[in-house]
Amino acid sequence: MKGRGAARAATLGLSLMVSLGAAQGIRDITSLAEERYDARIPAPEAVLGAPLASRYARAHELTEYIRLLDTASPRVVSVNLGRSYQGREITAAIITSPENHARIKEIQTQNRRIVFDSASVTDEEIKTMPTVMWMGYGVHGNEASTSEAALATLYHLAAGTGKVPALLKDMVIILMPSLNPDGRDRFANHANGFRGLTPTPDRQDLEHSQPWPGGRTNHFWFDLNRDWMPLTQVESQVRHRLYTAWRPQVTLDFHEQGLGLNYFFQPGEPLRVNALTPKENQAITADFAQYHAKALEELNERYFTEERFDDFYIGKGSTYPDVIGSIGILFEQASTGAIQSELRGRLYTFADSVRNQFATSMSSLEAAQANRVRLLTYQRNFFRDDVQLAGGVGTEMEATTIGWQWPVDDRGRELANLLRAHEIRVDEADGWMEVRLNQPLHRLARAMIAPPNIFEDTSFYDISTWGLAYGSLAKVSPITGTRGRPFTRPEGPTFRRAENPVGLIVHRGRADFHDVVRQALRMRLRVFFVKEAIGEAQAGDVFIAADGAQDVEKWRGAWEGSKLRIDMQEVAGQTGAVVSWGGRRLVELGTKRIALIADATTSSNRAGELWYRLPDVSVVPASANLANYDVVIYPGGGGAEFMTRLGTFVSGGGHLVAVGDGALAVANSDIWRVPASSYSANVAGLKFGEIADERARHQVPGTILRVRYDDTHPLTYGMSEGYAFRDESVFLNAPTEPGTAVGVYTDEPVAAGYLPPEVTKLVPGKLSVAARRVGSGRVALFADSPNFRGFFRAQEEIFLNAVLFGEAW
């Protein structure tokens, strides 16, 4: 399958010399596999230049090793998937026997038939098919042992001459050593750069302390292990294309947890499993656990299972597979955070962590090989059999629906594109898009659009709901058999010219409206917010004045032939009609130098959500000189001294948009005092062992709430109701100043997800969005994240209105 030439021989010779000179690390780690290795295959040290696990491999070294094996071994093929936001390559290895590689397209096509033509796949055919395993490492960049274990696994599979050849005849393995190369290098560069000549277990040493925001997240500070369903980040998107191209039977998800917590492998909490996951999935996971337990016991390593971690939110790498017919398995190794760490007198080493992760990689391969026919049969039956879906309780999207529908517009297309990326069939006709449940991926469709409200346990490791029917901005409703015929918006811009234009109306409602407004301000055009309907402009639109022919040339050149999703029309002058384009119904917008506060006192996840939506703003620490900016977006942090300076900024004319923790901080300051309410679990009289569970049951675990808006306010023109994603237990009371409560939670606030009954009683009438003038400035408060994890965007338009249109209120 691959050419072999003199250049390859020379490369192998050099690699072999380096490998043999520094291979003690790999030998120590792989010795537990009791495997013989081909001396011609280079070990990871050929690239690292040091023993494996003696320092942290950087992202490019992981890629280089895969390419080296691609050259050295007929079992390994490297696949370049794309690049991260910071330009690092994202690479995978496809590993199988040379015979399987020779017919790899046939195997892939056959494997996809299990999903999309399951009825045609016979038991006899399954007996001859290889199983496909996905091995994903390093989705959190600072969970370092995962990627080093990936290197050891790559070497084992490429060089093993004992059991490995038979294993690879039975399996196709897709291995990604780093799902998050930017986060990986952020961690590795710090830890490698701050260690001494010899490792130290002193946890106060700089090697042990990652600077904010740490290496867990990607460039935009997103947790990529929450992005399997929404696919907002480029790393997730390129990984997902390879994953869906193969549709593996087993999906492994390697992580680290806190120092001293031993080793975890699934099954997780038995009462916290997604209702759409079949029981057979959990039975297979439990059978795999026997192999992991045996492997760790042979190393005298302690482990635990069926506690702490759940299997509920489908955006995670070990849960998403469960609703698409794969077996997702989570692994959590206790992190050392450095090459060595000490806790309670015990020394923990990075090499031992890598060894443990390698051990469960091996046990997973062994289990999958032993259960090959069972895994293939399970996946075939998952799609072939008409399994009764779990029903929804207390949700607007009833489980009995045959599917969902929404109008064809910008936001509808966005939702359809996401669903199609997951290979869910979306049909389009008569101005409507629809997803029906009579298709192979019906479980995934339901899990994404309107997940069932079924909770055997009301404590959650992550969030309790995430339905795209509420957060996608598409106008989703259950298919009922009757519907109107909405106007189908074109995908690109509509631009209507006029003779001798005096201005340009930019109509609100299209997906790129706010981006065009920001562009117009950067072009130094005169931009006005329309407060009341005038001419063909409606309240909430924007009017751009033509102060000369050059302005008309500017906007025509920028937008008339663009691909922006926007509706525009020029306003003709001297038509005989008098239209007051200079009156009080228009408010001129000033410059918009925007700063996002983000430093070690801020939640990087919350700040990253906002940065991702506005990637060209200035990201500044709380110590920055705020006088340099017109608008400050504040997701929290900073401390008392910062709040004093923030108050000065506002009273002097600045515009403040405070989100989440930032809104709570402002409401507890002299900038704008707004009382808060919260529910505290009553633990009086409980036994010690009952207290933690009782408190956990009364947390807000990520819930979708209904919001009632003031449809006359400039932030929410035309909006009467909507949704917010709430993952905070402190609620702000609605302010008493007239006209400042822009959005409050409704009397029946829970739209989807779980909210403790005692907390639910507090919610009606509490504040979701507020805005007012303070001194010469403006303050907008968002109690909830308007762009939660980049996909729950129900309040995104209101947030952008607050950022851009402060002069209007």
- Give one DSSP letter per residue of 134-194, joined into a string: EEEE-SSTT-THHHHHHHHHHHHHHHB-SSHHHHHHHEEEEEES-S-HHHHHHHHHHHHHT
CA-CA distance, 242 to 176, in Å (whole number)? 10
The reported pLDDT for the residue numbered 473 is 93
CA-CA distance, 796 to 744, in Å (whole number)? 16
Q: Is 235 helix (H, G, I), strand (E, B) or coil?
A: helix
Kindly tell me if the per-residue pLDDT of 398 is higher than 70. no
472 contacts: CB under 8 Å, gap ≥ 6: 411, 414, 415, 418, 791, 793
Instruction: Answer for the pair 761, 714: CB distance below 8 angstroms, yes or no.
Output: no
**Which CATH number among 3.40.50.880, 3.40.50.720, 3.40.50.300, 3.60.20.10 corresponds to the domain 594-808?**
3.40.50.880
- Long-range CB contacts (within 8 A, 24+) of 6-11: 8/71, 8/72, 11/68, 11/71, 11/72
pLDDT digit string, tens, across residues 306-319:
998 999 999 999 99
Kindly tell me if the per-residue pLDDT of 24 is higher than 80. no
pLDDT digit string, tens, across residues 713-737:
999 999 999 999 999 999 999 999 9
Instruction: Answer for the pair 465, 274: CB distance below 8 angstroms, yes or no.
Output: no
Query: Hey, where are the domains in the chain?
Result: 6-384, 403-478, 494-588, 594-808
The reported pLDDT for the residue numbered 456 is 83
Please state whether the peptide bond connecting residue 478 to the residue before it is cis, i.e. omega within 30 degrees of 0.
no
342 contacts: CB under 8 Å, gap ≥ 6: 201, 202, 203, 348
Kindly tell me if the per-residue pLDDT of 1 is higher than 60. no
Maximum CA extent, the chain: 92
pLDDT digit string, tens, across residues 65-115:
999 999 999 999 999 999 999 999 999 999 999 999 999 999 999 999 999
In 3D, which of 422, 93, 360, 90 has the Cα closest to residue 227?
422
Instruction: Answer for the pair 706, 745: CB distance below 8 angstroms, yes or no.
Output: yes
pLDDT digit string, tens, across residues 535-586:
899 999 999 999 889 999 999 999 998 999 999 999 998 655 656 787 889 9
CATH number belonging to domain 6-384: 3.40.630.10
In 3D, which of 707, 706, 727 has the Cα closest to residue 716?
707
Instruction: Answer for the pair 317, 225: CB distance below 8 angstroms, yes or no.
Output: yes
The reported pLDDT for the residue numbered 335 is 95
The reported pLDDT for the residue numbered 386 is 55
Instruction: Answer for the pair 595, 633: CB distance below 8 angstroms, yes or no.
Output: yes
pLDDT digit string, tens, across residues 350-362:
999 999 999 999 9
- pLDDT band for 34, please (50, 70, 90 cuts): confident
Instruction: Answer for the pair 23, 113: CB distance below 8 angstroms, yes or no.
Output: no
In three-state form (DSSP H/G/I as H, E/B as E, the rest C), the secondary structure along 441-466 is: CHHHHHHHHCCCCCCCCCCCCCCCCC
Strand-strand pairing, 594-597 and 567-572: unpaired
In the chain, the percentage of residues whose pLDDT exceeds 70 is 93
The reported pLDDT for the residue numbered 486 is 64
Q: What are phi and psi of 741, to 5 degrees?
A: -85, 95
306: alpha, beta or left? (left if phi > 0; alpha if psi -120 to 50): left
Kindly tell me if the per-residue pLDDT of 15 is higher than 80. no
Tally of CB atoms within 10 A around 576: 4
Instruction: Answer for the pair 396, 750: CB distance below 8 angstroms, yes or no.
Output: no
Average of per-residue pLDDT across 468-477 = 95
pLDDT digit string, tens, across residues 257-288:
999 899 999 999 999 999 999 999 999 999 99
Please state whether the peptide bond connecting residue 451 to the residue before it is cis, i.e. omega within 30 degrees of 0.
no
Mean pLDDT of the chain: 92
CA-CA distance, 413 to 419, in Å (whole number)? 10
pLDDT digit string, tens, across residues 628-675:
999 999 999 999 999 999 999 999 999 999 999 999 999 999 999 999
The reported pLDDT for the residue numbered 488 is 66
The reported pLDDT for the residue numbered 574 is 66
Residue with tokens 């997730």: 236
Name the amino acid, one letter, at 115.
V
CA-CA distance, 619 to 9, in Å (whole number)? 50
CATH number belonging to domain 494-588: 3.30.70
